[in-house]
């Protein structure tokens, strides 16, 4: 692996020069700008863990393409053990950063595209998988971070891609040349985009034959001159941007992953970087597999985050002298129960995974959808319990400027104190951590990341095999099935 640790990852980002805007100004160095640096540090943790003996087994894998040791985030799952190791790795990373470390999006994109490219080639005699393998070997050997770019702006949602008044609402091919294609459009909510090396463009939805120009899968270097990124605002980001170390709650890693708009302004993509080009019938499978992998993750990365939140609340109870209260213990027990329930579904959909025809393993898609659906409830319930236990003070605390003020600092220290042997600063820091982890952007990510709740419900209903369940009920109720009735005739 060319990039061996977090520091080398940071340096690799300084070696490229993508066009990124934030609050109307260009960001020159994402590793040092206060808006992006925390998110870069969170992603850097994926590199750091691979360099530590304790986590090496989880954070690295052996490439089935080269036999080399690679980051797990660039690996194509070869068996159920790989799927489970990924889940364990994501929980550890959630515990270490308490935020989104971003690198799983590209990871899931790699796995979805790999398995589908194989199937396209088998059916149509194309050579997409060979091209993809060549690109992937470089990603693996150099240990690059890939942003999986799926979500299009979608414009008027009552119309499909081909019927939009502005076709750029979906990324599409605007020109076909002998040596490649030119694409235009944008991707929104792109987690980790500003600190990735490569963009893996995928379609956002299942497409029909009329939408062939939108059926494009390809890879583009992050600093391609035709690409512009706009980094998004987050709740309380001014605290982060002003380097308010206590008030930002989670200063090292930020409240949530860090998302950006990626705009493609007539970007030329050469043939060797194109992995699907017009074969609309396969787009649904790419979206479906990508979504399943990413939904499986949420019971792991979010569980790691919930572990930290539970620890924060438990410590706050100690600071406030309430830790022994039976209702406090009961609510903390519930937080743990919900977290472990979520984790169980991540493990379950991995343990029930199966090989696709390419040999790449895919999680159980029904259980993955159930897992993410539960995140949209359990994480919110865990956050509700945390706010309940923390008390109203997380919304009314004076700022760190007042804590350190010569005029009023003594009042903050006196009236925000807890038990005698724990410094008041601990109470304020933990309060701010809980505030950051239960508010605004962090919780929105849990609801809508990896697809909004309705997207999972559609899949759960579709895969629920109601006909089979009806047959089971009929059999036990003594109602003859259609076949039995026919036999009697
Ligand atoms: Fe990974 Fe979770 Fe972030 Fe998705 S939300 S990229 S699974 S850490
Ligand atoms: Fe996410």
pLDDT of residue 289: 98
Going by alpha carbons, the residue nearest to atom 5 of ligand 1 is 100
pLDDT digits (tens, 9 = 90+) for 364-397: 999 999 999 999 999 999 999 999 999 999 999 9
Q: Which structural domain range is residue 393 located in?
A: 286-469
Phi, psi of 180 (to 5 degrees): 160, -160
Mean pLDDT, residues 280-304? 98
Using the mean position of ligand 1's atoms as its centre, give its distance from the Cα of residue 449 in Å.
Answer: 8
Task: Give residue 101 CA to ligand 1 midpoint distance, Å.
Answer: 6
In a domain, 463, yes or no: yes
CB < 8 Å & 24+ apart, contacts of 337-340: 338/306, 338/378, 338/381, 338/382, 339/303, 339/306, 339/307, 339/310, 339/378, 339/382, 340/303
CA-closest candidate to residue 435, choices 387, 375, 384, 380 = 387
Which tokens go with 24?
């109307």
Q: Does 39 have pLDDT greater than 90?
A: yes
Atom of ligand 1 nearest to the CA of 294: 7
Name the residue with tokens 């206590």.
246
Is 259 part of any domain? no
The atom of ligand 1 lying closest to the CA of 191 is 6
Quick: pLDDT tens for 152-192: 999 999 999 999 999 999 999 999 999 999 999 999 999 99
At a CB cut-off of 8 Å and minimum separation 6, what does 70 contact?
1, 60, 61, 62, 63, 140, 141, 143
Structure confidence by residue, pLDDT tens digits, 407-466: 999 999 999 999 999 999 999 999 999 999 998 788 998 999 999 999 999 999 999 999
Predicted local distance difference test score (pLDDT) of residue 485: 66
Coil/strand/helix, residue 266? strand
Distance between CA atoms of 102 and 99, rounded to whole angstroms?
A: 9
Query: Where does the pLDDT of residue 67 fall: very low under 50, low under 70, confident under 90, or very high at 90 and above?
Result: very high
Ligand 1 atom closest to residue 445's alpha carbon, by position in its atom list:
5
For ligand 1, atom 7, the nearest C-alpha belongs to 297
Mean pLDDT of the chain: 96
Residue 302 CA to ligand 2 center (angstroms) comes to: 9
Which residues have CB under 8 Å from 300's CB, separation 6+?
A: 86, 87, 88, 89, 90, 91, 94, 343, 346
Residue 489 pLDDT > 80, yes or no?
A: no
Q: Is residue 149 in a domain?
A: no
Q: Give CA separation, 77 vs 80, 135, 358, 375, in Å.
A: 8, 17, 11, 24
Q: For the segment 197-248, what is each residue's pLDDT rounded down to a tens digit?
A: 999 999 999 999 999 999 999 999 999 999 999 999 998 899 999 999 999 9
Catalytic residues: 100, 104, 191, 259, 294, 298, 301, 445
User: By alpha-carbon position, which residue is closest to atom 2 of ligand 1?
Assistant: 301
Q: Calculate mean pLDDT across residues 245-261.
A: 91
CA 376 / ligand 2 centre spacing (Å): 12
- Flag whether 350 is in a domain: yes
- What is the arithmetic mean of pLDDT over 255-279? 96
Residue 220 within a domain: no
Residue 292 belongs to domain with CATH number = 1.20.140.10
- Which atom of ligand 1 lies nearest, measured to the CA of 101? 8
Residue 13 domain-assigned (yes or no): no
Q: What is the pTM of this model?
A: 0.96
Give the total number of structural domains in the chain.
Answer: 1
- Whether the per-residue pLDDT at 487 is higher than 70: the answer is no
Judge whether 43 lies within some domain.
Answer: no
Protein residue with least CA distance to atom 3, ligand 1:
100
450 alpha carbon – ligand 1 mean position (Å): 8
Question: Which residue owns the Cα nearest ligand 1 atom 8?
Answer: 100
**Residue 334 located in a structural domain:** yes
Rounded to an integer, the average pLDDT of 330-340 is 98
In whole angstroms, what is the distance from residue 446 CA to residue 295 CA? 11
Residue 343's pLDDT is: 98
Tell the residue nearest (CA) to atom 6 of ligand 1: 102
Ligand nearest to the CA of 147: 1
Smallest Cα–Cα separation from 214: which of 291, 261, 268, 160? 160
Cβ contact 206:287 at 8 Å: yes
Find the residues whose C-beta lies inside 6 A of ligand 1.
100-102, 104-105, 191, 257, 294, 297-298, 301, 449
Residue 26's CB: how many other CB atoms inside 10 A? 10
Centre of ligand 2 to C-alpha 194, Å, is: 15
* pLDDT over 70 at 486, yes or no: no
Lowest mean pLDDT, pick from 75-89, 107-121, 234-248, 279-293 = 234-248
- What's the pLDDT score for residue 481? 77
CB 389 within 8 A of CB 332: yes
**Residue 484 confidence (pLDDT) above 80:** no
The answer to whether residue 488 scores a pLDDT higher than 70 is no
């Amino acid at each position: 692996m060319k990039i061996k640790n977090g520091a080398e990852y940071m340096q690799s980002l300084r070696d490229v020069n993508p066009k990124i805007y934030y609050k109307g100004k260009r960001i020159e160095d994402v590793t040092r700008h206060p808006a992006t640096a925390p998110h870069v540090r969170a992603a850097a943790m994926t590199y750091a863990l691979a360099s530590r003996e304790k986590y090496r087994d989880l954070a690295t894998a052996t490439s089935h393409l080269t036999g080399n040791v690679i980051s797990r985030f660039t690996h194509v799952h070869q068996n159920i053990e790989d799927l489970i190791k990924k889940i364990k790795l994501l929980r550890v990373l959630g515990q270490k950063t308490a935020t989104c470390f971003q690198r799983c999006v590209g990871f899931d994109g790699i796995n979805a595209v790999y398995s589908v490219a194989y199937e396209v080639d088998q059916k149509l005699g194309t050579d997409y998988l060979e091209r993809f393998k060549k690109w992937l070997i470089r990603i693996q050997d150099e240990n690059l971070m890939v942003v999986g770019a799926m979500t299009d702006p979608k414009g008027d949602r009552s119309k499909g891609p081909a019927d939009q008044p502005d076709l750029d609402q979906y990324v599409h091919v605007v020109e076909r040349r002998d040596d490649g294609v030119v694409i235009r459009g944008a991707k929104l909510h792109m987690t980790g985009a500003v600190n990735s090396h490569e963009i893996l463009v995928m379609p956002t939805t299942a497409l029909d034959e009329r939408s062939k120009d939108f059926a494009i899968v390809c890879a583009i270097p992050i600093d391609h001159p035709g690409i512009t990124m706009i980094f998004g605002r987050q709740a309380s980001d001014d605290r982060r941007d002003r380097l308010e170390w206590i008030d930002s709650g989670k200063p090292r890693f930020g409240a949530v992953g860090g998302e950006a708009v990626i705009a493609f302004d007539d970007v030329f993509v050469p043939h060797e970087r194109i992995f699907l080009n017009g074969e609309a019938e396969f787009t649904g499978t790419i979206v479906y597999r990508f979504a399943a992998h990413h939904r499986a993750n949420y019971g792991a990365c979010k569980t790691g985050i919930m572990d930290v939140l539970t620890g924060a609340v438990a410590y706050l109870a100690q600071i406030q002298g309430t830790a022994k209260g039976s209702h406090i213990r009961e609510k903390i027990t519930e937080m743990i129960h919900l977290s472990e329930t979520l984790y169980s579904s991540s493990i379950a959909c991995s343990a029930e995974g199966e090989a696709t025809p390419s040999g790449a393993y895919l999680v159980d898609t029904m259980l993955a959808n159930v897992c993410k659906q539960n995140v949209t409830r359990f994480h919110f319930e865990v956050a509700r319990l945390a706010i309940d236990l923390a008390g109203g003070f997380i919304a009314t605390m004076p700022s760190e400027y007042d804590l350190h003020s010569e005029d009023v600092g003594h009042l903050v220290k006196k009236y925000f104190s807890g038990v005698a042997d724990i410094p008041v600063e601990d109470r304020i820091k933990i309060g701010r951590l809980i505030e950051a982890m239960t508010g605004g952007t962090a919780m929105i990510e849990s609801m809508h990341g990896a697809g909004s709740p309705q997207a999972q419900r559609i899949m759960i209903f579709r895969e629920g095999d109601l006909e089979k369940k009806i047959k089971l009920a009929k059999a036990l109720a003594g109602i003859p099935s259609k076949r039995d009735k026919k036999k009697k005739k």
